[in-house]
Structures are given as C-alpha cells and as structure tokens.
Amino acid sequence: MRTYCCPCPRTGGGPVVSAPGGGRVPSVTSVPQARPGSAPPPAGRRTAWADGVDELRAAARTEPGRLRAIGAVLALLVLLFGAVTAWQVSDRAGAARDVAERSQPLSADAADLYRSLADADTTAASGFLAGGDEPRETRARYAADLATASDLLVKAAGSTQLTDAAGRHVTTLNRLLPRYTGLIETARADNRQGLPLGGAYLRYANERMRGELLPAARAWYDSETGRLAADHAAATAWPWASLAAGAAALGALGWAQRRSYLRTNRVFNRGLVTATTACVVLLVWLVGGHTMARTGLGEAFGNSARSLRVLNEARIDTLRARGDENLTLVARGARLTGDQQDFYEAGFRSGMKDLAGGATQGPAASGSALGTALALADDEAGRQPVRRAVAQLREWQRRHAQARAADDKGDYDQALRRVIGTDRPTRESFDRVDAALRDAVAHEQDRFRQAAGAGRGAFGGLAAGACALAVVGAAGAVLGIGRRLSEYR
C-alpha cells in the first residue's frame, strides 16, 4: 500500500491512502486547513430563547406583529375586568347573605336571650310576692323564659366559635344560668315555708342576674351587633378594583379603535365594538346593581336595625323597671342607695326616665328610648305600637304612684294588690307595654328582612354575568384584531 499526497476536491488537499483493490481514500488524520485571511469559527452557538427574542423584536417592528400584541393585551384586560368583578361581587354577595341570614338573626337571638333572662328574673319576683300560693301562670311564664333562654344558648353554641368573644360570652351564660335557677328554687322553698331567708336568696339571685348573667348577655348582643355592622360594611363597600379594571379595559379598547380608524379610515370595527359593548354593559350592571344593593342594605341597617336596637333597649328597660318595682316590695327598704333612698325604687324611676323622660305624663321625651323609637319609625304601622307603649307606660306610672302611696302609709297589702292584684294592677300596664314593644319589634324585623332581601337580590346573577360578558368581550377583541390581520395575508 502506497501513500500519495495530492489535492482532493472534498478535503481541499491532504494525504490519501491507497485502499485494497486500487482505490484511494483520504486519510483519517487529515485536517482541513484554514484559508489565509478567513475569520475564526464562533466560540459558541446561540440559544433558542435568544433566537425567539430576536424574532419577536423583528415581528414587533411590523404592523401584523403590533396587531397581535394589541389583541393579546385587549383580551387580557377584558378577562381581568370580568375576573375581578366576579371575585368582588361574590365577596359582597356573601357578606349580604351573612347580614340577612346570620348576623342579624344572631343579634335578634341575643336580644331575645337578654329579654328572656330579664323576664324570668322579673317573673320570679312576682311569684315570690304572691307567697306560697304562686299563680300557675306565673310559674309557667318563668319556665317558658328559662326554656327560651336554654334553646337560644344551644343555638348560639352551634353558631359561634368558642374561641371568639361571642363564644366566650355564651360559655359564661351556660355556666351561670344553672346557679341562678338554683338560687331561685331555694328562695321559693323558703318562701313556701314562711322563712324570711327566702327574700335574701331572691335578692342574691337578682344580684347575680344583674351583675353576671345580664352583662354577659349584653356583651354577646353587642358582639353580634358589631358583627352585623362589619358584614354590612363589607357588603356595601364599593368594588374599586373592579371599577379600575373596567376603566382600563374601556380605555384600551377606545385607543385601539381610534388607532384602527386612523390607519384604515374605517369608523367601526365590529369585533372591537362588541368587546366595548360587553364591557360597558358589565360596568353599568356593576354600578347599578351595587347601588341598588347599597340602597337596600342601607335601609335595612340604617333604619330597621337602628330601630330594632332602640326597641330592644326599651324592652330591656321595661323589664328592669318591672323587676325593680317587684323587688321594692320584696326588700321593703332592706337595700338603700348612698343618699338613703330605696335602691329598687330609685332604679324604677331611673328606668322610667330612660324609657320616656323625666315627666310622668304626655308624649315621650325626644332623647328617651321610646321617643327615639318613635322618631326612627318611618311608617304609621311602626309608629302606632310605639305610641301605644307610651300611653300604657304613663298609665303604669300613675298606678305605680298609687301603690307607692299605699306602701308609704304602711298599707303593704294594698300596695301589693296594686302591683300584682286583679283590680287595675301595674302588672297589666307592664304586660301591655311589653306587648306593644313586641309588636313594634316584629314590624321592624319584617322591614329589615324585606330591605336586606332586596339588597341581597341586587347581586343576583352579577358574578356569572361578569364571567360571560368577559368571555364575549375577549372573543370580540380577538376577532376584531384578527379581521385586521387578515388584510395582511
């Protein structure tokens, strides 16, 4: 085998080796020689990412590339508008549902619990005044109040978390209520035997009720009322993020249509007009629906909820005054104030002043509970029971004055008949005041439910409609830009 050195057209020259059979092939050790003056080979190859970036830059310098970018941005803005709207509307609809179905009912339950406890305490004092022969209806009323309180506590325990403030108040009430009922039963047992110690047990039970149970019930009521206010604020807050997204989408669509008009002299682009119409419809629906929701929920919270709070306060003051009136005869001067006045009689006068003002006749004062309730009632159906409550309260004050006059003269039996007897006693006036206030509360509850339901209904379908309109708008934007792109093919 011989080796020759000759130029080769493939390798550009180099040694060759004679193959068996007479053929010649280039040697594997041959290396192409660089031509004099040629550039050296590149150090490394470009990545696919760098090539893609260059292609995008090149495409962005052309009108089709710009149109594709504009279409993508428009579709993204419209979809973002729909997504943010659906999110914020769903959030506010949930808060409105809590107002109507959770916060306000729990607030009403807390008020009913307070009233049941106060009424049970008042009824226990009335039964004690009757002596060993306690009327059956008085005993039944006391048992019904305790049953109502127990049911409400069970319901509250299932609707609140034990770790939050409301749950702690409910736990306190569950712990204290059996102790109170035990004291009342001890007072009754001693009273049936004619033991004076029964009055001391009754007063001690009343102190536990006023010093522990009623404050816990009031704290739970305040907690639920605060939650109602927070849910109302969340339901009526303006969806600023959604409004900003809608304004951005409409602004971009308007700019795109103006750009198309300046370049093509065509007034309308059907796809972009469709996208703009979808965004305008959604924005108007959002503003209109939210305005209606704010109006309904504002009426429920600003009018009916405030009236309910004042009426519940009035019922509480009424029950407290009745309890003080009964305990005045039970204690018979055993407990005095700092200025040596009967403690419970002073409490009765204070309650009457809170209810209707310092006068003993005429309409309720403007700053009193009944005066405020009358001013907040915005229809005759709501004012009528409040006026009836004021009239019966004045009659109660007159009858109470007669009972006090008899007691001051030493005629205890006559005073007792004036309070719990059958001939025009103060018990009748108290029951009529409480019944009138109960009617007023029921009326305001109905108005609250109606207004809150109307406000909640304004959000109906808005979240789903936002998603549908966003899809339509995005499709319109893409098709509108696609129509322009087709002109370059």
Token pair in block for residue 439: 């009617």
Round to the nearest angstrom and report the end-to-end CA distance of the chain: 65
- C-alpha–C-alpha distance, residues 275 and 471, integer Å: 9
Q: Give all strands of the β-sheet with 14-18 in edge-to-edge order.
A: 3-6, 14-18, 24-26
Q: What is the pLDDT along the chain (489 residues), one digit of tens a residue?
A: 444 444 444 444 444 444 444 444 444 444 445 455 555 555 456 676 666 666 666 655 677 778 888 889 999 999 999 999 999 999 999 999 989 888 888 888 999 999 999 999 988 888 888 876 778 888 899 999 999 999 999 888 877 765 577 788 888 999 999 999 999 999 988 888 888 888 889 889 989 998 999 999 999 888 888 889 999 999 999 999 999 999 999 999 999 988 888 877 666 788 899 999 999 999 999 999 999 999 999 888 888 888 999 999 899 899 889 988 988 888 887 788 888 888 888 999 999 999 999 888 889 998 899 999 999 998 899 999 999 999 999 999 999 999 999 988 989 889 988 998 888 899 999 999 999 999 999 999 999 989 888 888 999 899 999 999 999 999 999 998 887 777 766
Residue keyed to tokens 């830009």: 481
- C-alpha–C-alpha distance, residues 335 and 333, integer Å: 5
3-state secondary structure of 288: helix
Residue 264's Cβ-count burial label (10 Å; 0-12, 13-18, 19+) is exposed
Mind giving me the DSSP string for 202-269? HHHHHHHIIIIIHHHHHHHHHHHHHHHHHHHHHHHS--HHHHHHHHHHHHHHHHHHHHHHHHH--S--
Yes or no: say if 314 and 389 are a contact pair by the CB < 8 Å rule: yes
| Helix (H), strand (E) at residue 15 | strand 14-18
Q: Minimal CA–CA distance to 87: which of 218, 221, 242?
A: 242
Yes or no: say if 369 and 310 are a contact pair by the CB < 8 Å rule: yes
Yes or no: say if 369 and 317 are a contact pair by the CB < 8 Å rule: yes
- C-alpha–C-alpha distance, residues 25 and 6, integer Å: 11
Confidence at residue 35, expressed as pLDDT on a 0 to 100 scale:
53
Residue keyed to tokens 């009521």: 221
Greatest alpha-carbon pair distance for the chain in Å reads: 154
| DSSP bridge pairs for 26 | 16
The answer, as to whether pTM is greater than 0.85, is no
Token pair in block for residue 114: 């307070």
Q: Minimal CA–CA distance to 305: which of 201, 130, 112, 441?
A: 441
Yes or no: say if 120 and 208 are a contact pair by the CB < 8 Å rule: no
| DSSP bridge pairs for 14 | 6
Token pair in block for residue 111: 């008020």
Query: H-type helices in 32-101, by residue range?
Result: 48-60, 63-98
